[in-house]
């Protein structure tokens, strides 16, 4: 009996302790329940009032009354639902309070209550920095940034896509669609896998519009993680690319052609981009880049410091100005401010070769050329690879790959390649060395030096003055040029000419047999091989490319006459500087009208040693790909049957020329 009594006392004491622990929590829960009930009733009252107001408005407009019973029923249902929710919340709070110490639960409850009040009373001014936030999965509203963010709040990643249909291993992609429904639309589509820098949430980002548009359309897709973002990114790009096209081979390039009734976006390989989020523009990748050249000469044991110049001040200043201007020209030539990759440029040269092959089978009628289906297809592929700026509605004669536009494209591609080299250097760095990797020795010539005196006197006089619109030449600067890769090549070409023992029938004028800039023992060799100092004018933005690569032969030698190259795909020179001036960036030049100039600089012209041998006098324009047998160059004789005003000399072997001098000049 005593034992039973003792057990009862223990049970009673345990119940009392349990009640004591639960009492504060019950009290707090009751207070919360009361407050919550009041808040819910207040909310319901507001909703009912709002509904009643809406009903009144409808009543006024339609003269149809709403039954009072329906109003009461709705009010009763809402109140019943609210009371049920409050009771369940209170019950749950009491249950948790019994399990946990009262003090800790009170603190936790207060924190939760405060957080609820903040989120319910007013919207937050922005996401809390450095904290994980839930991501809204799926497509976000178009034109809106998620998480109350901005463009700079997202990080982008490489590698970029460079080939059609290959997206799964990439993280950023630029595509272009030049034609839609047979019309030139010149649109772009950009995709990227991005991560919010703060919340670390993942998204697929897409942007589209007309190439170069100031305010493009865009949309985010919320994703669970990076693999999910990659899947969304790749799926969308496939739908715009190989999902709409059929595989074809054009100009030896495997590419996509839009299916009938579809617009197909092609991948645009870009070394730098201007589309997408700001961070995407920091991603650089030059696929197909050439191997960097080896140093031109071994250095001494002393290591050159980064700030030590590799050339004299005038030379360094010139090359720096050329680099900056060439990059600016390239970006300005593009509809989207980008710079193509080396692969894109190489493919563009293949496309030009294919266009010239097609032109060979067509008449010289440009109006018929621009309607040719194959040339249109090649043009579409070209603009798909390189988004050159083209005005909306521009006449097709100005941009289709006809005989009038091939040479301009060739020169532009050469300039774009020079810009590509420059973008790999930090032009803003004080220690920037524009001679780096050029395998070139270049030296400013003092006008008082032997070579300087000769050139300042001889060059301006080497003209027949057949172009009256060009005044007298005034040389501002002269440089001597010596390319490492040219060593021995001209001598080999001279030897081949001398071995042929041909009789030289045509020689260019304005040549001196005893040039003071040549060693005396070379004078006879130069005369016997008919090696002359001739001129080559070019746009200023093409100068650095010629210094780096020498004068470039077309990738494919196609025997077709094009505007600016009436004797085929060779290297062109003049014996009259005014003839060459028409190809420079002078404001009144015939061919360029001042395009491709360098701010703060005059025009530029090369003086080149050319082994002419025995020239073949061309009877008319013709697409030569080599000099006829027994000859070493083609001679377009001024004043003859060709209709030329001035002489032109064309060689088809690069080793027949060597750059010697570069002049910066103006005309008065």
What ranges do the domains of the chain cover? 12-61+68-119, 138-282, 318-423, 440-667
- For helices 373-385 and 342-360, give the axis angle rounded to 10 degrees: 170
The answer to whether residues 507 and 513 touch, using CB atoms and an 8 Å cutoff, is: no
Specify the range with the lowest mean pLDDT, choosing from 94-103, 175-184, 590-599: 94-103
How far apart are alpha carbons 525 and 431 in whole angstroms? Answer: 43
How sure is the predictor about 595, in pLDDT bands with cuts at 50, 70 and 90?
A: very high
- Which of 63-77, 197-211, 386-400, 570-584 bottoms out in mean pLDDT, i.e. has the lowest? 63-77
Q: Which residues of 3-41 are buried (b: 16+ CB within 10 A; e: fewer)?
A: eeeeeeeeeeeeeeeeeebbeebbebbeebbeebbeebe
pLDDT of residue 426: 56
Report the distance separating Cα 148 and Cα 653, nearest Å. 63
Q: What is the pLDDT of residue 187?
A: 87
C-alpha to C-alpha distances, 135 to 124, 127, 132, 153, 222, nearest whole angstrom? 17, 12, 9, 15, 6
Give yes or no for a contact between 151 and 278, defined as CB atoms under 8 angstroms apart. Answer: yes
Residue 64 has pLDDT above 90, yes or no: no
Mean pLDDT, all residues of the chain: 81
User: Which residues touch 93 (CB under 8 Å, ≥6 apart)?
Assistant: 25, 28, 29, 32, 109
Which of 573, 566, 570, 572 is closest to 557 using CA atoms? Answer: 570
Among 275-284, 454-463, 601-610, the range scoring the smallest mean pLDDT is 275-284
d(C-alpha 41, C-alpha 47), whole Å = 10
- Predicted confidence at residue 87, as pLDDT, reads 52
pLDDT at 467: 86
Q: How far apart are CA 387 and CA 175, in angstroms?
A: 10
Residue 493 has pLDDT above 90, yes or no: yes
Q: Band of the pLDDT at 292, cuts 50, 70, 90?
A: low
**More confident position, 291 or 353:** 353
pLDDT at 9 over 90: no
**What are the pLDDT digits (tens) for 249-283?**
998 888 998 888 888 999 999 998 989 999 999 99
Q: Report the pLDDT averaged over residues 571-578.
A: 98
Contact residues for 302 (Cβ-Cβ < 8 A; gap 6+): none
| φ and ψ at residue 587, rounded to 5 degrees | -60, -35
Of 72-86, 303-317, 543-557, the range with the lowest mean pLDDT is 72-86
- Among the ranges given (99-113, 469-483, 530-544), the one the predictor scored with the smallest mean pLDDT: 99-113
Is beta strand 202-210 parallel, antiparallel or unpaired with respect to 172-180? unpaired
Identify which has the larger pLDDT, 543 or 53: 543
* CATH class assigned to 318-423: mainly alpha
**Exposed, middle or buried, 367 (CB in 10 Å: 0-12/13-18/19+)?**
exposed
| pLDDT of res. 217 | 96
In this structure, how many other beta carbons lie within 10 angstroms of the beta carbon of residue 640? 14
Q: Strand, coil or helix: what is 71?
A: helix
How buried is 637 (Cβ within 10 angstroms: 0-12 exposed, 13-18 middle, 19+ buried)? middle
* Mean pLDDT computed over 184-196: 90
- Does the structure show a pLDDT above 90 at 39? no
Q: Positive or negative, the Cα torsion across 269, 274, 280, 285?
A: positive
- 636 and 567 Cβ atoms separated by less than 8 Å: yes
Residues 264/241, Cβ–Cβ less than 8 Å:
yes
Helical packing angle, 2-62 and 68-99, nearest 10°? 150
Mean pLDDT of 291-301: 48
- In angstroms, the Cα distances linking 260 to 182, 249, 250, 291, 384 are 10, 17, 18, 42, 18
DSSP 8-state symbol, 522: G
Residue 622 pLDDT class (50, 70, 90 cuts): very high
Does residue 38 surpass a pLDDT of 70? no
- In the three-class reduction of DSSP (H, G, I as helix; E, B as strand; rest coil), residue 573 is classed as strand
3-state secondary structure of 593: coil
Q: What is the DSSP string of 481-516?
A: EEEGGGTTHHHHHHHHHHHHTPPP----SS--TT-T
- Look at the domain 440-667 and name its fold: Phosphoenolpyruvate Carboxykinase; domain 3 (3.90.228)
> What is the rounded average pLDDT of the residues 186-213?
93
The DSSP H or E segment spanning 360 is helix 342-360
pLDDT of residue 280: 95
Task: Render 93-155 in DSSP notation, one character per residue.
Answer: HHHHHHHS-HHHHHHHHHHHHHHHHHHHHS--SSPPTT-------EEPPTT--GGG--GGGEE
């Amino acid at each position: 009996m005593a034992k039973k009594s003792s057990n009862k006392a223990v049970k009673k004491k345990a119940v009392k302790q349990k009640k004591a622990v639960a009492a504060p929590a019950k009290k707090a829960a009751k207070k919360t329940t009361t407050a919550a009930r009041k808040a819910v009733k207040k909310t319901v009252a507001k909703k009912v009032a709002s509904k009643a107001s809406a009903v009144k408005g409808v009543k006024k407009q339609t003269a149809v009354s709403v039954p009072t019973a329906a109003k009461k029923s709705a009010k009763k249902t809402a109140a019943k639902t609210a009371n049920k929710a409050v009771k369940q919340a209170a019950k749950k709070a009491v249950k948790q309070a019994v399990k946990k110490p009262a003090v800790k639960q009170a603190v936790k409850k207060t924190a939760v209550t405060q957080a609820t009040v903040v989120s319910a009373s007013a919207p937050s001014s922005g996401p809390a920095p450095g904290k994980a936030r839930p991501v809204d999965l799926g497509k976000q509203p178009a034109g809106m940034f998620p998480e109350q963010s901005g463009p700079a709040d997202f990080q982008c990643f490489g590698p970029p896509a460079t080939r059609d249909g290959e997206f799964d291993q990439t993280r950023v992609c630029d595509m272009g669609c030049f034609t839609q429904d047979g019309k030139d639309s010149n649109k772009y589509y950009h995709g990227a896998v991005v991560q919010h820098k703060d919340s670390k949430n993942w998204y697929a980002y897409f942007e589209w519009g007309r190439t170069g548009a100031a305010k493009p359309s865009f949309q985010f897709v919320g994703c669970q993680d990076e693999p999910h973002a990659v899947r969304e990114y790749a799926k969308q790009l496939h739908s715009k690319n190989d999902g709409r096209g059929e595989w074809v081979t054009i100009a030896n390039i495997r590419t996509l052609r839009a299916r009938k009734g579809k617009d197909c976006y092609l991948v645009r390989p870009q070394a730098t981009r201007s589309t997408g989020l700001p961070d995407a523009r920091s991603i650089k990748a030059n696929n197909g880049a050439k191997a960097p050249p080896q140093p031109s000469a071994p250095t001494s044991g002393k290591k050159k410091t980064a700030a030590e110049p590799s050339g004299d001040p005038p030379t360094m200043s010139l090359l720096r100005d050329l680099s900056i201007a060439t990059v600016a020209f390239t970006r300005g030539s593009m509809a989207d401010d980008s710079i193509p990759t080396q692969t894109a440029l190489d493919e563009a040269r293949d496309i030009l070769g294919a266009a010239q092959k097609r032109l060979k089978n067509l008449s010289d009628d440009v109006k018929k050329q621009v309607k040719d289906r194959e040339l249109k297809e090649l043009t579409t592929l070209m603009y798909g690879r390189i988004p050159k700026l083209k005005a909306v509605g521009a006449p097709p004669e100005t941009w289709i790959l006809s005989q009038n536009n091939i040479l301009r494209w060739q020169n532009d591609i050469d300039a774009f390649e020079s810009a590509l080299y420059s973008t790999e250097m930090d032009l803003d760095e004080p220690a920037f060395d524009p001679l780096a990797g050029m395998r070139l020795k270049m030296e400013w010539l003092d006008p008082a030096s032997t070579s300087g005196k000769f050139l300042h006197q001889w060059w301006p006089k080497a003209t027949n003055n057949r172009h009256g619109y060009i005044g007298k030449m005034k040389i501002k600067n002269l440089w001597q040029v010596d390319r490492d890769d040219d060593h021995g090549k001209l001598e080999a070409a001279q030897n081949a000419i001398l071995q042929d023992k041909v009789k030289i029938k045509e020689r260019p004028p304005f040549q001196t047999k005893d040039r003071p800039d040549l060693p005396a023992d070379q004078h006879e060799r130069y005369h016997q091989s008919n090696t002359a100092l001739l001129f080559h004018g070019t746009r200023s933005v093409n100068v650095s490319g010629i210094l780096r690569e020498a004068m470039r032969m077309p990738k494919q030698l196609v025997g077709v006459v094009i505007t600016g190259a009436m004797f085929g795909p060779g290297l062109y020179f003049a014996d009259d500087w005014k003839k060459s001036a028409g190809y420079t960036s002078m404001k009144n030049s015939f061919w360029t009208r001042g395009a491709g100039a360098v701010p703060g600089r005059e025009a530029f012209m090369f003086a080149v040693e050319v082994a002419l041998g025995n020239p073949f006098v061309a009877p008319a324009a013709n697409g030569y790909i080599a000099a006829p047998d027994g000859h070493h160059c083609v001679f377009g004789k001024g004043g003859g049957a060709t209709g030329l005003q001035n002489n032109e000399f064309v060689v088809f072997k690069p080793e027949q020329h060597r750059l010697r001098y570069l002049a910066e000049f103006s005309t008065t």
